[in-house]
Amino acid sequence: MTIAEREQQILRVREQGFHAGLDKALTSKLNAEVVATVKAVLESALDEEVKAFLNTLASVQKPHRSGYYRRGLNTQYGQIRDLAIPKLRQRNPEREWQILQRYQRSLGNLLDWMCCLYVMGLSLRDLQEALYFILGQVLSVSAVNQITLNVQRQLEAKRQERLTRTPEMILVDGVWVEIQYTIADEFKEDQSGHLRQCRRAEERVVLAVMAIWADGSQELLHYEVAEVESEATWTTVFEHLIARGFDPNKLKLVSSDGTLGLPAAMAKCLPTAEQQRCITHKVRGVERHLSYSNLPPSSPTGQPLKPAEARQQRRFEITSDAYEIYQSNLEPDALSRLRAFQEKWQFLEPDAVRTFLKDIELTFTFYKFDSNLHHHIRTTNHLERLFREFRTKSDEIGAFPNETSCLTIFWLVVERDHAKHDRKAPANNS
């Protein structure tokens, strides 16, 4: 894909509301991240520009570097107070900063950088094109690589930052993706005749933990790539959070979709927390076990039904009844609705009812908490929404070139969602 085609792709993203609709929200929600990442990008690019300038000079005329001076730079999303500008012992006044001037003549914000990053998937070649779009010039592969490393180090630092408070409720879930990995001792010859190590796309799962605060706001606490969802991998996730300052004794609830190995990991790392099974996943289990026996020949209004229409009506009716159980704010009323559900459907759909009743008590744990929080904690829908957006992006990319690329794109999806919907909790952990 050419640079022009990339630019058209970016423009289409903007037209869909990614750019204009986020300006106001980004100003308040992403200010720190945006400014810090602009700083990292520019400092890396300026260092590379100095190196390129020195390489154009004869060895006799070549001045030595002399550290950095600090200056401020205004951006649309705040001021960079201490941008590090490389200095030379001589010839500083007579040289012009091409990248800095080009950047100042550009849109003046990182949203274009983030948009490019988001659209293009973080390969070195793509990042060259992205920075050309922003800075107006092509940087070397080494320069782009350095910029990439700086941005990735910043994002990794955010994943490792100290947690200063612990929520009482969290959501946990995982989303599957494909990531490329090198194959040991396997090589192939490229078009230039060079041997390249073979790579293979493998399935991996991104495990995520989201805090639900007392006011209903949400904040993603951690995310990482694992081979499978298991007791060992969830234990690793929880131990990581604890090492960052998460207090397991303050946690009261973990909402999940029945992830394998999670109860054992919770017993080991989160002994005071109870489990809430996602009611959405519970109801979906009903749909998968419908037998569609004794279908009615007509609708409640007396209209004749085709077999497909009768099946659709059955599926809609039983799932609606199942969801209705959890619409009450009071547990006794919900249990009464459960008994009515069982009496109504036990004969017609015994397998579906049996599946629904298995571990049913775990779907009622949310009643122990404030009713204003019920819709936040009785499902994992907040995480599922992020996963849907992430899957859309991962489907466009295909197999991620590495784990870091995968996690970076996931972070961008999360930040975009928080800014767009104003769902993020106050940044008390940063």
d(CA 428, CA 430): 6
Q: With respect to residue 425, please indicate whether it lies within any of the assigned structural domains.
A: no
Same domain, yes or no: 148 and 276: no
Which two structure tokens, joined as six digits, stand for 389? Answer: 């957006």
Cα torsion 126, 131, 137, 143 to 10°: value is -80
Same domain, yes or no: 155 and 177: no
Q: Name the least confident of 42-46, 253-257, 262-266.
A: 42-46
Please, which pLDDT band fits residue 393 given cuts at 50, 70 and 90? Answer: confident
Same domain, yes or no: 251 and 384: yes
Q: With respect to residue 421, please indicate whether it lies within any of the assigned structural domains.
A: no
What's residue 77's pLDDT? Answer: 57
Same domain, yes or no: 377 and 240: yes
d(CA 329, CA 371): 6
Q: Report H helices in 90-224.
A: 98-105, 111-120, 124-135, 141-160
Which two structure tokens, joined as six digits, stand for 319? Answer: 């799932």
Average pLDDT over residues 148-152: 64
Same domain, yes or no: 278 and 341: yes
Domain that holds residue 373: 169-414
Give percent of the chain above pLDDT 90: 41
Q: With respect to residue 420, please indicate whether it lies within any of the assigned structural domains.
A: no
Position 10, amino acid: I
Last residue of a domain, one of 126, 160, 194: 160
Same domain, yes or no: 238 and 380: yes
d(CA 48, CA 144): 9
Same domain, yes or no: 140 and 192: no
Q: With respect to residue 112, please indicate whether it lies within any of the assigned structural domains.
A: yes
> Which is more confident, 46 or 168?
168
Average pLDDT over residues 211-240: 94
Please, are residues 50 and 86 in contact by the beta-carbon 8 Å criterion?
yes
Q: Domains in the chain: how many in total?
A: 2
Q: Does residue 109 register a pLDDT over 50?
A: no
Same domain, yes or no: 305 and 356: yes
> Which is more confident, 64 or 229?
229
Last residue of a domain, one of 160, 187, 207: 160
Contacts of 119 (CB under 8 A, 6+ apart): 6, 9, 10, 13
Contacts of 1 (CB under 8 A, 6+ apart): 9
Contacts of 338 (CB under 8 A, 6+ apart): 325, 360
> Which is more confident, 50 or 422?
50
What's residue 16's pLDDT? Answer: 47
pLDDT digits (tens, 9 = 90+) for 280-337: 999 999 999 999 988 888 888 888 889 899 999 999 999 999 999 999 999 999 999 9
Same domain, yes or no: 141 and 212: no
What's residue 196's pLDDT? Answer: 79
What's residue 270's pLDDT? Answer: 96
pLDDT, mean over the chain: 79
Which two structure tokens, joined as six digits, stand for 322? Answer: 């199942």
The DSSP code sequence of 116-138 is HHHHH-S-HHHHHHHHHHHHSSP
Please, which pLDDT band fits residue 21 given cuts at 50, 70 and 90? Answer: very low
d(CA 163, CA 341): 44
Q: With respect to residue 423, please indicate whether it lies within any of the assigned structural domains.
A: no
What's residue 339's pLDDT? Answer: 96
Helices and strands in the chain, H and E counts: 16, 7
Put simply, whether the predicted model's pTM sits higher than 0.75 gets the answer: no
What's residue 37's pLDDT? Answer: 66
Same domain, yes or no: 145 and 283: no
β-partners of residue 226 are 205
Last residue of a domain, one of 131, 160, 189: 160
pLDDT digits (tens, 9 = 90+) for 49-85: 788 778 777 666 677 788 888 888 776 556 778 888 8
Q: Does residue 195 register a pLDDT over 70?
A: yes
H or E element: which one contains 86? strand 78-88
Phi-psi region of 34 (alpha: psi -120 to 50; beta: other; left: phi over 0): alpha
Which two structure tokens, joined as six digits, stand for 117? Answer: 């990053």
CB pairs under 8 A, 24+ apart, for 352-361?
352/286, 352/287, 352/289, 352/290, 352/291, 352/318, 354/289, 355/285, 355/286, 355/288, 355/289, 356/282, 356/283, 356/285, 356/286, 356/322, 359/277, 360/282
Q: With respect to residue 422, please indicate whether it lies within any of the assigned structural domains.
A: no
d(CA 102, CA 138): 12
Same domain, yes or no: 129 and 173: no
Q: Does residue 269 register a pLDDT over 70?
A: yes
Please, which pLDDT band fits residue 272 given cuts at 50, 70 and 90? Answer: very high
Average pLDDT over residues 3-30: 47
Phi-psi region of 122 (alpha: psi -120 to 50; beta: other; left: phi over 0): left
Q: How many other CB atoms sit within 10 Å of the CB of residue 234?
A: 28
Phi-psi region of 12 (alpha: psi -120 to 50; beta: other; left: phi over 0): alpha
Q: With respect to residue 287, please indicate whether it lies within any of the assigned structural domains.
A: yes
Q: With respect to residue 214, please indicate whether it lies within any of the assigned structural domains.
A: yes
d(CA 158, CA 214): 23
> Which is more confident, 405 or 106?
405
Please, which pLDDT band fits residue 144 given cuts at 50, 70 and 90? Answer: low
d(CA 291, CA 288): 9
Please, which pLDDT band fits residue 86 given cuts at 50, 70 and 90? Answer: confident
Same domain, yes or no: 353 and 381: yes
